[in-house]
Amino acid sequence: MIRTGYRIRAASPVDASAIAHVYVATWRTSYHNLLPAATLSNMNEMRETLYWWTALCSARASTVTLVVENPEGRVVGFVSGGPDRGQGAARRAEIYTLYLLQDMQRRGFGAALLSACAARLAALGFNSLVVWVLAANSARGFYESFGGIAAASKTIRVGDRRVEEVAYLWADIRSAAQAVADSGDGVGDI
């Protein structure tokens, strides 16, 4: 389903503040029952803006950061990915972040971001894809619906709490992009 007026484009350093806003707002709405309240309340958009500005200014050729913007040009979601940060297989990519403002969720934008990022990572020569998701996060169903297979788990510490993460794997990165394309979800001007 094409969303008229919305578009996905490559992020640039000028998007750092908007990305930071989406990041902090989404963590606070999506993880309020999953992560410690102190961790969420201590999040700071200014600190995140500096992080994203630095990351986007020094982006490597092997990383991808895309934003989805509404018809007014406001960033309402983003995705970033690049080389697997774990001990994964050679040429495995990882989705590092995929976040949408709460009122933009469940409208096809996440699928469009996942598809566009997977396609661009494939074009960079990556052949498989992984994403780590909190085990208690309802977003797990999103990745499963597009063919992600639960392949590993690990426990991490967030603030004073230990939480489990699950890795979803696509052995063929092109299948992630294709599964989304086959679903009919999408956004114009990708």
The predicted model gives 4-19 an average pLDDT of: 93
Who's near 8: CB < 8 A, 6+ residues apart? Answer: 66, 67, 68, 112, 113, 116, 187, 189, 190
How many other C-beta atoms lie within 10 A of the C-beta of residue 126? Answer: 23
pTM above 0.85, yes or no: yes
pLDDT digits (tens, 9 = 90+) for 84-109: 988 767 799 999 999 999 888 888 89
Tell me the domain boundaries of the chain.
Answer: 7-183
pLDDT digits (tens, 9 = 90+) for 126-167: 999 999 998 888 888 899 988 999 998 898 988 888 988 999
Question: If one looks up domain 7-183 in CATH, what number appears?
Answer: 3.40.630.30
Asked whether the predicted pLDDT for residue 2 surpasses 60, the reply is: no
Q: What is the pLDDT of residue 116?
A: 93
Could you report the per-residue pLDDT of 119-132, keeping only the tens digit for each? 999 999 999 999 99
What tokens does 67 get?
């934003």
